[in-house]
Amino acid sequence: MSRTDKSADEQIVPQDIVGATLRAAEARGVSVAEVTLRDIAQEAGISRSTLVRRIGGSRHALDEALRAAGVEPGGRKPVRERAIEVTGTLISTQGLGTVTFERVAAAAECSVPSLYATFGGRDELLRLVFERYSPTVDVEALLATSRGDLEDTVRRLTRLMVDTLEREPRVLPALLAEVFARPGDANVLMVFQTLTPRLLAGLGAWLAEEAAAGRVRDLPPMLLTQMMTGPIFHHFLLRPVTSQVAAADLPSKEETIETFAQAFLRAVALPPPGDEARQE
């Protein structure tokens, strides 16, 4: 190919088509590689056949024009993923009350209208953020698989919750801090109104099943859930501070997990049927 031919190829896709491609990707919350030619044509206000003709009949030419504009096709996460990630970071570093669509859009490098198109509203964005960064989904996945005995399951659930508390961004610790500081805050109440029923439907329902089977004490699922999670949350929320002021007295993470798992079992586990009679 001659230098002249190469230059002509580089100019084959007009800049207004490149701009329409970027806008279509932004509006739909997908990467430019996932935007269809129909979507691009609609954004550009032309027919699909006209678009195909204007890009020279090749998607490859459009990809090259995007690269020339500094955009790698498929190399950028969709708006949905970027927004969830930056919102998690905002909550972790600055608190739940700082999350606005304007701040999320600026951090995610997208437009506010694209956030509304993707999530519908702020509440849905927050719901998805806490679904991702809370232990709820992982707990459901663990309990949906074939489980071991009660002791093994309690130990695995305890480790899972500890891992969630320590995972970056630290969304769950930030939320719990908001609960203690502003228990009546509308943002806090909204999140808990969303997460609590699901937590009780997962962890609470499993504990209720264990109680019905006679393996744990027959207590309200909410109390059983709080007995399992409360000590874990309290210890690992304070652990970063404790490690600085009383490091010598702080057990390892694995020792702590085992201690809390065994403490919960001692508090609620019942002996198998017949064991009490044999002990008498």
pTM: 0.68
State residue 36 phi and psi, 5-degree precision.
-80, 160
Q: pLDDT tens, 47-106?
A: 888 888 888 877 888 888 887 777 777 666 778 888 999 999 999 999 888 899 999 999
Question: Is pLDDT of 225 > 80?
Answer: yes
Q: What is the DSSP letter of 121?
A: S
Domain-embedded: residue 84: yes
The whole-angstrom separation of Cα 208 and Cα 238 is 30
Question: Is pLDDT of 229 > 90?
Answer: yes
Q: Say whether both 97 and 38 belong to one domain.
A: no
Q: Say whether both 185 and 265 belong to one domain.
A: yes
Q: What is the pLDDT of residue 61?
A: 84
Q: Strands, DSSP E only, in 218-264?
A: none
Q: Confidence class of residue 275 from pLDDT cuts 50, 70 and 90?
A: low
Question: Is pLDDT of 193 > 90?
Answer: no
Region 225-245: mean pLDDT is 91
Q: Say whether both 208 and 175 belong to one domain.
A: yes
Q: What is the pLDDT of residue 37?
A: 86
Nearest to 164 by CA among 216, 203, 221, 190: 203
Q: Say whether both 151 and 53 belong to one domain.
A: no
Domain-embedded: residue 258: yes
Between residues 191 and 123, the one the model is more confident about: 123
Q: What is the pLDDT of residue 5?
A: 43
Between residues 9 and 25, the one the model is more confident about: 25
Q: What is the pLDDT of residue 113?
A: 86
Give the distance between the most distant pair of CA atoms in the chain: 98
Domain-embedded: residue 234: yes
Domain-embedded: residue 207: yes
Q: What is the pLDDT of residue 1?
A: 39
Q: What is the pLDDT of residue 2?
A: 40
Q: Say whether both 241 and 191 belong to one domain.
A: yes
Range of the domain at 169: 134-270
Domain-embedded: residue 37: yes
Q: Say whether both 245 and 264 belong to one domain.
A: yes
We report the CATH number of the domain holding residue 175 as 1.10.357.10
Q: Say whether both 155 and 256 belong to one domain.
A: yes
State residue 221 phi and psi, 5-degree precision.
-55, -35
Region 246-268: mean pLDDT is 94
In one letter, which amino acid is 19? G
Q: Which of 30-34, 169-173, 196-200 has the highest mean pLDDT?
A: 169-173
Domain-embedded: residue 62: yes
Q: Say whether both 83 and 63 belong to one domain.
A: no
Whole-number Cα distances in Å, 15 to 6, 46, 64: 17, 14, 12
| Lowest-pLDDT choice from 54-58, 81-85, 150-154, 224-228 | 54-58
Question: Is pLDDT of 7 > 70?
Answer: no
Task: For the chain, give the percent of residues with pLDDT over 70.
Answer: 92
Domain-embedded: residue 275: no
Q: Say whether both 115 and 64 belong to one domain.
A: no
Q: Say whether both 106 and 198 belong to one domain.
A: no
Q: Say whether both 7 and 107 belong to one domain.
A: no
Q: Confidence class of residue 265 from pLDDT cuts 50, 70 and 90?
A: very high
Indicate the number of domains in the chain. Answer: 3
Between residues 32 and 207, the one the model is more confident about: 207
Q: Say whether both 138 and 264 belong to one domain.
A: yes
Task: For the chain, give the percent of residues with pLDDT over 90.
Answer: 38
Nearest to 43 by CA among 20, 65, 63, 19: 20
